[in-house]
Amino acid sequence: MQSEVVFAGFGGQGIMLAGQILAYAAMEEGYNVVWLPSYGPEMRGGTANCSVVVSSDPIASPVVPNPAAAVVMNNPSLERFGPAVRPGGVVIVNTSLVNIPLARTDVAQVKLAANAIAMGLGSGKAANMVVLGAYLGACKAVSYDVLTEFVRRKFSSKPKFVEINLKALSAGRKAAEAAIAGRKETA
């Protein structure tokens, strides 16, 4: 088993954290993992992305030119990574900030208003957890229980963030599972 995903958006959206949480959860399950961050020349507000490769076998390269999935939080990220996803893959699109289409029919597109969902849960900062949950709901790269347990430990020093992040993961996961199920029913 091997899965690859690119998380991409603006700096400050928690893109790196989402990738790290996925990577650590995968390590806890005993998988081989590579997390490769990439920052634009600016920090907050500039571009940021990271690739995460999770595999039951040794990983030959951290570079993923054609990932199985992309999680895109803004228009520039969709333009850059949407076309790179290999046919049959998944593109998770944050429609709160992405207002351009991805003209592909050979990938599953999971569209959800991650920022709006996070705001509805009480914190716009949890949009990264919404899309991480959506990725997990669409791709099942790691166990949801292991991921949520890692989130509990990661934010244990800030208890108010534990609950909001768990709600955000759950909301994203449910939205993606519904989108994937709806796509299968219309196929």
Alpha-carbon distance of 1 to 3, in angstroms, equals 7
Provide the CATH number for the domain around residue 88: 3.40.920.10
Alpha-carbon distance of 54 to 32, in angstroms, equals 6
pLDDT in tens, 158-185: 888 899 999 999 999 999 998 877 655 4
pLDDT in tens, 2-53: 999 999 998 888 999 999 999 999 999 999 999 999 876 655 566 799 999 9
In the chain, the number of structural domains is 1
Q: Is residue 115's pLDDT more than 90?
A: yes
pLDDT in tens, 121-148: 998 899 999 999 999 999 989 999 999 9
Q: Is residue 187's pLDDT more than 50?
A: no
Please give the pLDDT value at position 23: 96
Alpha-carbon distance of 74 to 98, in angstroms, equals 5
pLDDT in tens, 52-110: 999 999 998 888 889 999 999 999 999 999 999 999 999 999 999 999 999 999 999 99
User: In degrees, to the nearest 5, what angle opens at C-alpha 44 toward C-alphas 41 and 45?
Assistant: 80
CA dihedral for 69, 72, 75, 77, sign (positive or negative): negative
Alpha-carbon distance of 94 to 78, in angstroms, equals 9
CA dihedral for 133, 137, 139, 145, sign (positive or negative): positive
Tokens describing residue 95 = 């429609």
Tokens describing residue 127 = 């949009």
Please give the pLDDT value at position 180: 79
Please give the pLDDT value at position 124: 85
Q: Which domain holds residue 140?
A: 2-186
pTM of this structure? 0.90
